[in-house]
Amino acid sequence: MFKKELFKLASIMLIVCTGFISSCHKSNAPLEEVKKSVPEAKEEQQQGQQSDDKALLSINKTDVKKIVIKMYEGHLHGDNFHYVPGPQNIPSPHIRLERELTFVYKNNKWQVPEGQINKFILFNERIFGCWIYYYNEAGELINGDFAGGEEYQTFFIPKDVKAIEGIDIAKEKLNAPKLLEYSYRDTNPWDRSGSNEGARFIYKDNPLGLKGFFKFPVLNTTFKLSLQLWKMNGTKLNGGKPAPFYAPNTETKSKGEKVLELNIPMFILLAEQDRSLSEDNKDKAKTLDDAIANKVGFLSYRYTEQDRARMAVLLKESALTWEEFVENLVAFFEGEWGGESEGHWF
């Protein structure tokens, strides 16, 4: 009797241990694939990069093997976007005007090249021009494959939207188009400006999403920006109008095909008051407690407890200390900028 009970107990323990090992293996397998393409943990912390297998959704039915996304802060002249080169002495890639992400398709997954950042940390209420470049296996730029006719359209759909812990944001602000705004600014030819290079703007009737500009009105939010390239199969115009940037129309969903999808981690954590930190007033903000106690900069802003919650996430995701953050902003404020005639136009 004792032997039978002992045998039952050993069998149960074996089943439990087997299940435990199996479940651990399943949960780590996708992450291991991503880790192959990113630096070791120490390097990731230095770069402000965290492995996130859920961030790199792997849908790709195209010849695209590399995607470069450029997000440059600029301003508008009427409806035309203009980017002026910012200071080049800003150490952190998360604070510069020119932000770039690169994703490569390997082992049936979108991955981040070793040593590069995998997220955008952006100012709210600022205008960001966005260029998307597609490359094939040979490293050739193939945007032209998606620019001809009315076959393709890129959509930008927020997913997994969250407010920073401890900060209340009305639910209606956590969905497009209130969470983010995007304006297509595609041209024919696709790689020339419609403002000063003679190209024709086509975005009103034939939006592609190869270039356009974003605005992020809601501070203290994080989300995944789902970049979705759809083959429209004759469904681009519905009632003579294209679908909005955040919602393929019903006919597209039934007759079209989503041929590529990539989820980009987004952190809208930089605020206008952060720009006020300069060489003259950085002594008032040696610590975050100092910034909360003192009025800082030309905006005469006193940081709040909500800012403390925002900074906790910002410093973690950018892998900066408060002191490094201030030095980056001083470089931003004090640095030499390009002239109005320089930069890029859509």
Task: Kindly report, residue by residue over 128-181, the tens digit of the pLDDT.
Answer: 999 999 999 999 999 999 998 889 999 999 999 999 998 999 999 999 999 999
Both tokens assigned to 61: 């039915």
Residue 279 and residue 223 share a domain: no
Residue 1 is assigned to a structural domain of this protein: no
Residue 152 and residue 250 share a domain: yes
Q: What is the DSSP string of 214-280?
A: EE---SSEEEEEEEEEEE-TT-SEETTEEPPTT---HHHHHHSEEEEEEEEEEEEEE-GGGGG--TT
Residue 336's pLDDT band (boundaries 50, 70, 90)? confident
Mean pLDDT of 97-123: 94
Residue that terminates a domain, selected from 248, 270, 292: 270
Mean pLDDT of 215-220: 96
Lowest mean pLDDT among 48-62, 66-80, 297-311, 326-340: 48-62
Residue 18 is assigned to a structural domain of this protein: no
Residue 166 and residue 95 share a domain: yes
**Which pLDDT value is given to residue 262?**
94
Residue 20 is assigned to a structural domain of this protein: no
Provide the domain limits for residue 301: 273-341
Domain count, the chain: 2
pLDDT, tens digit (0-9, with 9 covering 90-100), for 275-302: 878 888 889 999 999 999 999 877 788 8
Both tokens assigned to 9: 């107990």
Residue 95 is assigned to a structural domain of this protein: yes
Query: Helix 322-334 to helix 305-318 angle, to the nearest 10 degrees?
Result: 90
Residue 195 and residue 314 share a domain: no
Residue 286 and residue 265 share a domain: no
Residue type, 323: E
Residue 314 and residue 181 share a domain: no
Q: Which range scores top for mean pLDDT: 50-64, 154-168, 332-346?
A: 154-168
Residue that terminates a domain, selected from 240, 270, 300: 270
Residue 27 is assigned to a structural domain of this protein: no
Mean pLDDT of 67-92: 92
pLDDT, the chain, mean: 84
Residue 256 and residue 290 share a domain: no
Residue 6 clears pLDDT 50, i.e. is over it? no
pLDDT, tens digit (0-9, with 9 covering 90-100), for 19-55: 433 333 333 322 233 333 333 333 333 333 444 444 4
Residue 314 and residue 285 share a domain: yes
Q: Which helix (H) or strand (E) holds 120?
A: strand 120-123
**Cα dihedral sign for 203, 207, 213, 215?**
positive
Rounded to 5°, the CA angle 190-226-61 comes to 70
Residue 136 and residue 65 share a domain: yes
**Which pLDDT value is given to residue 18?**
39
**Which pLDDT value is given to residue 48?**
38
Residue that terminates a domain, selected from 270, 285, 307: 270
Residue 332 clears pLDDT 90, i.e. is over it? no
Residue 57's pLDDT band (boundaries 50, 70, 90)? low
DSSP 304: -
Residue 264 clears pLDDT 50, i.e. is over it? yes
**Which pLDDT value is given to residue 39?**
32
Residue 302 and residue 210 share a domain: no
Residue 35 is assigned to a structural domain of this protein: no
Mean pLDDT of 203-225: 96
Residue 107 and residue 256 share a domain: yes
**What share of the chain in percent tops pLDDT 90?**
63
Mean pLDDT of 206-215: 96
Residue 311 and residue 254 share a domain: no
Residue 197 is assigned to a structural domain of this protein: yes
Question: CA–CA separation, 211 vs 154, rounded Å?
Answer: 10
Comparing 68 with 240, which gets the higher pLDDT? 68
Residue 29 is assigned to a structural domain of this protein: no
* In the chain, alpha helices (H): 2-35, 41-47, 144-147, 250-255, 288-293, 305-318, 322-334
**Which pLDDT value is given to residue 196?**
84
